[in-house]
Chain A
Amino acid sequence: MHLPRGLSFRLAASILSATAVVFVLITAVTYQMAREALLNGANDNLKNLTRATVNRIESVLAPVLRVPRGVAYEMEEGTLSEAGMWQRERRVLDDNAEIYGMAIAFEPFGRSKSQEYFAPYTYRSPLGPMQTNLGGPAYRYQYMDWYQIPRELGHPIWSEPYYDQGGGNALMATCSVPFYHMVEGKRQVAGVVTADVSLQWLKRLVDSVMVLNTGYAFLLTSTGTYVTHPAEGVPFNETIFSRAEEHNDANLRSIGQDMIRGGSRLVETTSLHTGKRGFLCYAPLPSTGWSLAVFAPRDELLAEVNRLSLVTGGLSAGGFLILAIIVISLSRTIISPLRRLAGAARAVAEGDLAAPLPEVRTHDEVRELADSFAHMQGSLATYIKDLTVATASRERMESELRIAHDIQMGILPKLFPPFPDCGEFDLHATLNPAREVGGDFYDFFRAGEDWFCFVIGDVSGKGVPAAFYMAVAKTLIKAVAESTKKDLAAGPDPGSIMTRASNDLAQDNESCMFVTIFCAMLNMRTGEVRSACAGHNPPLLLPAGTGPAQWLPVPRQPVAGAMEGVEYSTASFTMAPGDTLLLYTDGVTEAMNPAQELYGEERLSHFAESKRGFVNARAMVEELERDVTAFANGAEQSDDITILALRYLGANHDAGNCRA
């Protein structure tokens, strides 16, 4: 099941991962662009907010200065009496709600040589306007900033904001305007008019500047002191520089320096108050020299973008999910029949030819595959059915052939030594059919008192017909030999046996088969051998002494059974004790090795000579078999191999005498 899952997985994975990359890219690009746009817009908003706040503060502070300035002009005109001054101050407070108190302070001994301090002061109290004369040994106002600074600088000045302890602990700032008089033609400072302005509204205004959730505004004096700040304990205690020092923040220090110099900028920085990164926009309050700053945290500015990105991301993710479901179900639809086909194929492969095939409703390649597969399944079923029948019949045939083989082997004499009581000769023979049954045969039997008959033959063709023919030929030769042995006083005559047998075989031989035969009779007493040869390979005689092995000179006569009326002659020679006669069929000499070389007569003759001192016939036969097999070296045996070895031992051999 690995392959089908892999295919659908790969299909879905490649489509979905490509889609995911596209979605992520879209989301990222959208985020970037939206962030740029939003930050630009947010920065504009921040600048506008700062400017608007500055304008609102200025709209109150700038006109305040006109009031003490007007009084200063009046003082320079010198028209106001002391009572007039008190009255003037009272009027100012009545008409200007934002002014908390006003003083007209004269230079020490400036108003009168007898009075060091003259400074009528009117201020608001919970009980209504109160009036007092400032100055005294404990309040030497000429050294106070509100007096000294405009006096020294010669122009109006706003003091640093302060918390007035007497004035209800309200945040105040004093606006001071010097006034002059002429002394001996020289313009000299005569005093300073001040207006105390409550800045509670300013504090409320700055504190109320809300930027998103944690953004805030703060106000700095011209020395960098915080007037308002959201952090507890910072206003009036810290300056922006002491805070920068305590937090080791060089950036904040340079921002502060720009602020108190009247700079107006938007910078990206980290808030010491909230620890957040963000944008700080600051602008000066021109009339006072103070500076207003608004901080907007970056993450909250970007919250909108993040929300947008979240929506985009969510939509992408949703789309991706839907796509994933479609892709996966589609790939399942395609893959599922394939998977079931694969299952069916496995069932078929395991032998279940009736395995049900998946039904494919679509008209596509999968349908074609299923149809082809169904066709293959049908063909396979038919083929297997035929094969089963064929196999059954072949098995029956093979079984019959095995039986035939057994029968064929059964008709060959297999008892060696054939006559244990006959010590005159030693004989061994073997037959290896190329197929189950073969056309070779050998035979031996006693033919009368002194004679021993041995035959080797090779039927033309192979297989069952040859086997039948061989059985007939072998039986015939033995029958002929048996029937003639008593008739011949002069001894057996293999030529006539062969003549009769050949004639019998040739009769009604419609298949035109034939057989080569070498038939010989051995006189066990004398060693005389009478032989007839019907087209068979000449046997090899290995003399007992040192002479070379020699092919027996047999008359070249036709094969037996091919035609009627063939006469076979008998040749005769005498074997000396120790001589060995080796009979074989052409399966030996024509055995082939993989290089298509023949075993050949020469090799056989060498083999025989190399076995000159062999012990017995059995060993000779078996070794020749092995030699041929070794030569064939695995090449298929194409012809039956039959070997018969006979060693004449002589009539007086120790082993015994079968006639005795």
Chain B
Amino acid sequence: MTKYIGTTRAALVAFFALFCMYGTAQAAELKHATLALQWLPQAQFAGYYVAQAKGYYQDVGVDLTIRPGGPDIVASREMTEGRAQFATMFLSTGVELRAKGMPLAHLSQLVQHSALLLILKATSPVHDLKDLNGRPVGLWDNEFQLQPRALFHRLGITPRIVPQSGSLALFLLGGVEAASGMWYNEYHTLLASGLDPKDMRVFFYRDLGLDFPEDGLYTLDSTLKADPELCRAVVAASLRGWQYAFDHEEEALKIIMDRMHKDKVSTNLAHQRFMLRRMRDVMLGDGKTGNHTPPLGHLDQGDYDRVAAALLEQKMIQAKPAFTEFSRGGTR
């Protein structure tokens, strides 16, 4: 009996040693990379977290670290300052940065439709968006201003822009006539603050001729040139993660919730579930918008041209980068 246990233990030790050697050997072969996200962990990035949790990046030889964004962390800067090799950002941000000289390479387009909303209370006297002229409208900074400014330009109005904080308290308290919101996030926050859909008047930019694709996966020219395989691997594993997240909602939500708890980000399951479902809508199309939905990962040149034109019009860029210089990943 004793001998038997001894033998088993010996075998276990040997196996464990082998396993460690194998692991070390494999780890040595894995390429380290970091992906910077635009914002804190949430279902907006479910695909990446799921791919990481399911080991999809390891499967393609990448040891990927995900670096969440935040109020003070800008994904593109993480990349240019060398803390990350990959980053997610809006298409408009990507075009703008590329036009301003950042050697960005677009690898994959995840969100094909704009989720940006302009939200008014149903009690608001503003029924026509033109009536917003001169009234306080909460807008976020940077990329979130492109569509509103293009809209206001088109409508020929000049609302009073009130920088919008991370919360919707000002809107809820009546401090602004309209607030910005993402369909998958703030819209649900309002629902979860006691507003019913009938209490709100919601305008989708995607339905106002401003359906600009949003989250895409980017790298730097240098990274792409040095290791195109790595880029392809990260894109493929990320898409695989997204598909899995859509197919396994509860499991994906658990991965997200765990990550958010770990990072001490306040949230609740109802909110993340709503977000994941809306991500699916804006990534794969929900059939409610008449706009064409390109295949997942694919950047449509028409979309690119419209975003670049809006940026030019708003004088946010001086020249439009060539599409082929910008879009480097295709659908591979």
Contact = CB atoms under 8 A, between A and B. Distances in A.
A246 B270 contact: yes
B162 interface: yes
B86 to A, nearest CB: 23
B175 A149 contact: yes
Interface in B118-175: 136, 162-170, 172-175
Contact of A246 (B162, B191, B268): B268
Given A149-B170, A242-B271, A223 B136 contact: no
A174 to B, nearest CB: 12
Interface residues of A, number: 33
Interface string A139-157: 1001111001100110001
A223 B194 contact: yes
A337 interface: no
A143 B175 CA distance: 13
A145 B269 contact: no
B192 A152 contact: no
Contacts of B331: none
B2 interface: no
Contacts of A238: 268, 270
B266 A237 contact: yes
B173 A142 contact: no
B172 A222 contact: yes
Contact of B267 (A222, A223, A237, A241): A237
Contacts of B267: 237
Interface string A225-259: 10000000100111111110110000001001100
A239 B190 CA distance: 11
A143 B163 contact: yes
B273 to A, nearest CB: 8
- Most A-side CB within 10 Å, residue of B162, B168, B266: B266
Nearest to A239: B192
A191 interface: no
Contact of A152 (B72, B170, B261, B269): B170
Given A237-B266, A243-B268, A145 B194 contact: no
A223 B268 contact: no
Contacts of A246: 268-270
A443 interface: no
Interface string A201-234: 0000000000000000000001111000000010
- Most B-side CB within 10 Å, residue of A139, A149, A225, A241: A241
A236 B175 CA distance: 23
B289 interface: no
B167 A257 contact: no
Interface of B: 71-72, 136, 162-170, 172-176, 191-194, 196, 261, 266-271
28 contacts: A143-B163, A144-B165, A145-B167, A145-B169, A148-B162, A148-B175, A149-B170, A149-B173, A152-B136, A152-B170, A153-B170, A157-B173, A160-B169, A222-B172, A223-B168, A223-B172, A223-B194, A236-B266, A237-B268, A240-B194, A241-B191, A241-B192, A242-B192, A246-B269, A253-B194, A256-B194, A257-B196, A261-B194
Nearest 10 A-B pairs (CB), nearest first? A152-B175, A223-B193, A242-B270, A138-B72, A245-B270, A242-B192, A241-B192, A242-B268, A246-B270, A238-B268
